[in-house]
Amino acid sequence: MLRLVKTLQIQLQSALEKACPEAAKIAHASDTTLNPQLGPASKPEFGDFQVNGALPLAKLLKQSPRHIALAIVEQLQTNKDFSSLCQPPKIAGPGFINLTLTTKCLKEELRIQLKDQRLGVPLVDSAKPVQGNGSVVVDFSSPNIAKEMHVGHLRSTIIGDSLARVLEFRGYSVLRLNHVGDWGTQFGMLITHLKLVAPEALTKANAIDLGDLVHFYREAKKRFDEDIAFKTAARQEVIKLQSGDPLTIKAWKLLCDQSRKEFQQIYNQLDIRLTERGESFYNPYLKQVIDDLDSSKLLVNDDEAKCVFLENISGKDGKPLPMIIQKKDGGFNYATTDLAAIRYRFNPSPEGDGAHRLIYVTDAGQANHFAGVFQIAKRANWIPDYGRIEHVPFGLVQGEDGKKLKTRSGETIRLRDLLKEAVSRAESDLRLRLKEEGRNESESFIMKVSNTIGIAAVKYADLSQNRKTNYQFSFDRMLALQGNTAPYLLYALVRIAGITRKGGGDLDIAIENLDFNELKEWSLIRELLKFDEVILEVEEGLLPSRLCTYLFELSQVFNRFYDQIPVLKANEPQRSSRLALCRLTAQTLKMGLTLLGIPTLERM
């Protein structure tokens, strides 16, 4: 209902500008003190909007708040523009002015939404271009090379993807970056192990498939911890890697390529698009970070390491906490790479992304790290005045016992195993339901529906939670056909699609002859008109759960409407008008689920 809110604010402001001088005379106040504030009604029974401000004004002017509210209402009712939008205002409690939109106004807004493929959601205002090149960088997923993606990567991946989808839908140019861990000391260990167990891989194409990279990593780590000669060789390989030794670089690329294949299988299954730009990409820019911080007089030598001492962030000793930028051995930390990335991403020259907004989607445990990195980048003047930089933290995925989700042996659950289990359970539930209903479906149908429901259930169960908190993972809850789950929403969407197929009719004719007279119809209309406002809330607050909550509430409002109001058996023009509401509900649910990265179905 954002369009309506903006329209009403403009009209109300205009009406107030005309009403205030007269209202001021009645209230015996100067017109500058009368500044009521407009906001959504706190409860449906209060109408659509509330005008507040009479109560604090009453204390200021030492008058009855109702007296002030009456003065404002009296003048508002003389304004024809305002009266075309709202029914006569009502005063409630200590001077609250409740506003209810006219049915004519609601129908006009509904017509606009029915005709609009974007369902009323505006594109970014091209008349107010952002600076830089207008792009938004969303940094998410970010697994480490030669390590398995686990359940922790799920949250970053799907939260980041849903935020990118919403921003793209709004019209922003979004750069979806996968900041993979493809550089650092661990590669000395991995390359040394590779040269020992599969030297032919470095001289022959496709000589070996590393298979289970987790097993390969564990073997390398075991040798690194137990074999002094191996550890020495691994450290030498790090030096070779940093200096660009051809054979070491080839081994590094082989490990990275093998990991990419593993990652891509999961990204394909989750329908995730990403541009990989690992830590190695920023290696050439690390020296400039040191030089810039030094010239800005932020860099301090501390115990032979180069550090920046953070402001208003103290260690356990109460002293300013240092962030190490370059270690005493000349090596760099994650912080150095992250600073180089910020500098590059905001840089408007060809040697940069020219972004105006950076969004980092990582677990909440990295909040302090990013707070320090962002502070240093700001003090170094790498964040332009128009730039926004935000950390989007998320909590842990827990088991039903409230502890960190792990396998029975205590290991972190691999993401591919979790997704496989979700699809398998969805298939079992579907086969049982088909048997109970006496339906005979093809294997291709069963596999398609099972895969869609399984993946949708896992994604939605995560996205529907407030990302800032931990949540308990439960296959039974997420696959349930009742409650705030993906199967519930998918079933509602399929049900509505079936109604509209049976109903037929010409939507264009229905749009021009809308006729509503039931409270449940108006409740559904009001819910549908909230979609644009919800999308802009997600864009600003970066909380996908807000969209999930809206879609669940919309499906509930629709079900109450359909259960109590006849649609297919209604007479015209009510039948076509109600079918138009059904179509718009289906379009809104499908659009919302798509923006969450949730696949949909025609049949279940």
Question: What confidence tens digit (pLDDT) does each residue in 455-477 have?
Answer: 999 999 999 999 999 988 999 99
Of 522 and 7, the one with more pLDDT:
522
Task: Return the closest-CA partner of residue 57 out of 87, 90, 16.
Answer: 16
Q: pLDDT value at position 128?
A: 55
The answer to whether the beta carbons of residues 255 and 209 sit under 8 Å apart is no
Of 152 and 155, the one with more pLDDT:
155
Task: Indicate if the pLDDT at residue 23 is higher than 70.
Answer: no
The answer to whether the beta carbons of residues 546 and 553 sit under 8 Å apart is no
The answer to whether the beta carbons of residues 599 and 456 sit under 8 Å apart is yes
Q: Report the percentage of the chain scoring pLDDT > 70.
A: 90
**pLDDT band of 66, cuts 50, 70, 90:** confident
**pLDDT band of 24, cuts 50, 70, 90:** low
Task: Indicate if the pLDDT at residue 526 is higher than 70.
Answer: yes
Q: pLDDT value at position 163?
A: 98
Task: Indicate if the pLDDT at residue 159 is higher than 90.
Answer: yes
The answer to whether the beta carbons of residues 527 and 553 sit under 8 Å apart is yes
Kind and range of the H or E run holding 275: strand 275-276
pLDDT (average), residues 370-391: 96
Q: pLDDT value at position 191?
A: 93
DSSP conformational letter for 150 = B
Task: Indicate if the pLDDT at residue 208 is higher than 70.
Answer: no
**pLDDT band of 141, cuts 50, 70, 90:** very high
Q: pLDDT value at position 593?
A: 98
Q: pLDDT value at position 595?
A: 98
pLDDT (average), residues 181-202: 88
What are φ and ψ of residue 581, in 5° steps?
Answer: -65, -40
**pLDDT band of 332, cuts 50, 70, 90:** confident
Task: Indicate if the pLDDT at residue 59 is higher than 90.
Answer: no
Q: How many CB atoms lie within 10 A of CB 207?
A: 12
Kind and range of the H or E run holding 429: helix 415-437
Task: Indicate if the pLDDT at residue 284 is higher than 70.
Answer: yes
The answer to whether the beta carbons of residues 453 and 426 sit under 8 Å apart is yes
pLDDT tens-place string over residues 291-320: 999 999 999 998 889 999 999 988 788 888
**pLDDT band of 351, cuts 50, 70, 90:** confident
Q: pLDDT value at position 328?
A: 85
Helix 103-115 and helix 2-27, axial crossing angle in degrees, nearest 10: 150
Handedness of CA 562, 565, 571, 575 (dihedral sign): negative
**pLDDT band of 127, cuts 50, 70, 90:** very low
- Please state whether beta strands 275-276 and 173-178 pair in parallel, antiparallel, or not at all (unpaired): parallel
Compute the distance between CA of residue 515 and CA of residue 574 in angstroms, rounded to an integer. 6
What are φ and ψ of residue 353, in 5° steps?
Answer: -95, -20
Domains of the chain, earliest start first: 2-101 (3.30.1360.70), 135-180+281-394 (3.40.50.620), 186-271 (no CATH), 415-478 (no CATH), 486-595 (1.10.730.10)
Rounded to two decimals, what is the model's pTM? 0.91
Q: For 14-28, 108-122, 129-143, 158-172, which range has the lowest pLDDT when averaged over its residues?
A: 14-28
pLDDT tens-place string over residues 481-491: 999 999 999 99
Scanning the structure block, which residue is given the tokens 């691994």? 234
Task: Indicate if the pLDDT at residue 36 is higher than 80.
Answer: no
What are φ and ψ of residue 523, in 5° steps?
Answer: -65, -45
Compute the distance between CA of residue 488 and CA of residue 501 in angstroms, rounded to an integer. 20
Q: pLDDT value at position 212?
A: 66
Kind and range of the H or E run holding 217: helix 213-226
Amino acid at 394: F
pLDDT (average), residues 174-200: 90
pLDDT (average), residues 416-445: 94
pLDDT (average), residues 352-374: 95
pLDDT (average), residues 407-423: 83
Q: For 10-24, 96-110, 433-447, 503-517, which range has the lowest pLDDT when averaged over its residues?
A: 10-24
pLDDT tens-place string over residues 555-581: 999 999 999 999 999 999 999 999 999
pLDDT (average), residues 511-535: 94
Task: Indicate if the pLDDT at residue 424 is higher than 90.
Answer: yes
Q: pLDDT value at position 259?
A: 87
**pLDDT band of 384, cuts 50, 70, 90:** very high
Q: How many CB atoms lie within 10 A of CB 417?
A: 13
Task: Indicate if the pLDDT at residue 521 is higher than 90.
Answer: yes
Scanning the structure block, which residue is given the tokens 């990118």? 164
Of 440 and 96, the one with more pLDDT:
440
Q: pLDDT value at position 71?
A: 78
Highest mean pLDDT among 64-73, 160-169, 502-511: 160-169
The mean predicted confidence, pLDDT, of the chain is 88
The answer to whether the beta carbons of residues 601 and 494 sit under 8 Å apart is yes
Interacting residues of 235 by C-beta distance below 8 A, sequence separation 6+: 185, 188
Q: pLDDT value at position 124?
A: 87
